[in-house]
Amino acid sequence: MLKVLLVDDDRELTALLIEYLAQEGFDARAVHNGADGVAAALSGEHAIVVLDVMMPRLSGIEALRRIRQASRIPVLMLTARGDNIDRITGLDLGADDYVPKPCTPGELVARLRAILRRTQPQPTMAATASVEAGPLVLSPGSRSVTLHGQPLDLTGTEFSLLEILARDAGRLISKQDLSQRALGHPLTPFDRRIDVHISSIRQKLGQRDDGHSWILTVRGVGYQLVVD
């Protein structure tokens, strides 16, 4: 059973989610403040973290910042409905996805499974074959990336997006297609999560020798990895 860490000060909600997650085959535990959440997330005992933004003392955003300084563990943020600032900040700091509160337990489980599918190493030969796009090499089995032989530190979601772009290098891929294939769900109107993840990938890739970005944007349409 995959272990899920819930970090939320709402004890009634976490008790409900623990019971529901158990029925869905997960082993969940909860802590109720950001400091304990950071310590538990870095313990190596859990496969994924569900982290609430709104907590007293140490916020979910600061907790995520501390987690990302030391770990790539997948993190799903719980954000206030309509609060785009927290969502974008969380994605900028390396959250894999977010769910607006209040959400149904079923939606949360669906998002958890989607994140785990794209972040867990795949055992098949097809999945573990390296993907090469110019000087960029991705290894899906270990979910590692090198550029000119130097490793890049990507989150699970960033790896999934870059893998899609690399497999179709030189071809324009719509944001809707990227969302379906990398996040496991369609984009909603005004949803910027793909844009924020791509921005982070760009920063980590740096510039090409010609001074341009590795990832080309076609405004309102999508993105293209340029390797020539």
Domain 2-119: give its CATH superfamily.
Answer: Response regulator (3.40.50.2300)
Average pLDDT over residues 140-156: 90
Q: How confident is the model at residue 125 (pLDDT cuts 50, 70, 90)?
A: very low
Core vs surface per residue 134-143: b (16+ CB within 10 A) or e: bebbbbbeeb
Range with the lowest mean pLDDT among 15-19, 35-39, 128-132? 128-132
Q: What is the pLDDT of residues 173-224, one digit of tens each?
A: 999 899 888 887 788 777 888 999 999 999 999 999 888 999 999 887 899 9
Average pLDDT over residues 63-87: 89
Q: What is the pLDDT of residue 122?
A: 57
Q: What is the pLDDT of residue 32?
A: 96
Q: How confident is the model at residue 80 (pLDDT cuts 50, 70, 90)?
A: confident
Q: What is the pLDDT of residues 34-59, one digit of tens each?
A: 999 999 999 999 999 999 999 888 99
pLDDT at 127 over 80: no
Q: Any idea which fold 125-225 has?
A: Arc Repressor Mutant, subunit A (1.10.10)
Q: What is the pLDDT of residue 102?
A: 83
Please list the helix, strand and coil fractions of the chain in percent, rounded to the nearest 5, in that order.
Answer: 40, 25, 35
Angstrom distance (rounded) from CA 25 to CA 212:
46
Angstrom distance (rounded) from CA 164 to CA 173:
9
CA dihedral 65→192→73→62, nearest 10 degrees, is 20
Quote the pTM value.
0.74
Domain ranges for the chain = 2-119, 125-225
Mean pLDDT, the chain, rounded, equals: 89
Burial of 50 (0-12, 13-18, 19+ CB in 10 A): buried
